[in-house]
Structure 1
Amino acid sequence: MAQGNWLFQRLPEWVVDTLTPDQKEAIHRVIEDPAWKRPPVNIRFTLPVVHRQFYVTIVSGPERRSDERRGRDRHRYPLRTLANIFFFLGVATVFYVVALVALAFMSAIVEF
């Protein structure tokens, strides 16, 4: 039952006090439910960029969300935002620069 305590510690005390023991047990069961497994791809790291740090999270696995939730998420977290466009442009730029440098080293352009 200790795994679910983090949730109760974050809730206001008056909310926890209103829960019955059966409700608390049900919450613990949901938190410890093995159906909520970690996704097969779960990459998380921090990028230091000019005196700031940005976190990057890549999570991938089988889709388990309902159609309703996917539609709601599509509106709450749209893919086409200015920040996402700059991110993808930055990733593409880094990829192409690395590819060009690799090609330059492999060809006669740069000799050892």
Structure 2
Amino acid sequence: MLDKNCRETSKLLRVEYLKAVLRQEVGYFDTNAATSTSFKVISTISSDAHIIQVTIADKIPNCLAHLTSFILSLTVAFLPSWRLAVASCFSIDTLFYCSAELDLVRYRRA
């Protein structure tokens, strides 16, 4: 379902980009011919559509799956021993902080 949705969204984005480019006056492309503006526009359309397609198809389902797993595991943890679950909730912010720090380290190395 999301795969079809991401294909349709990227197709719609490409069509809207093309309409926006075609609305430009011809003189716009003549004055910028030396910098190959049409190639830059096509390259931008392609890369932006691909980024949106990857985000919708891969990242959103993964995020939803992990969030659902987290909420479900917290719910299950509260059922047998709510005191232990409350005590462990204080360590969740530490886990989020460490995860964010690791992401920053990976981002700086890349």
Task: Give the TM bin, normalised by the shorter chain.
Answer: under 0.3
Task: Tell me which protein shows more strand as a share of its residues.
Answer: 1
Q: Which structure ranks higher in relative contact order (CA pairs < 8 Å, sequence separation ≥ 6)? A: 2
- Normalising by structure 2, we get a TM-score of 0.27
Flag the structure with higher helix content: 2
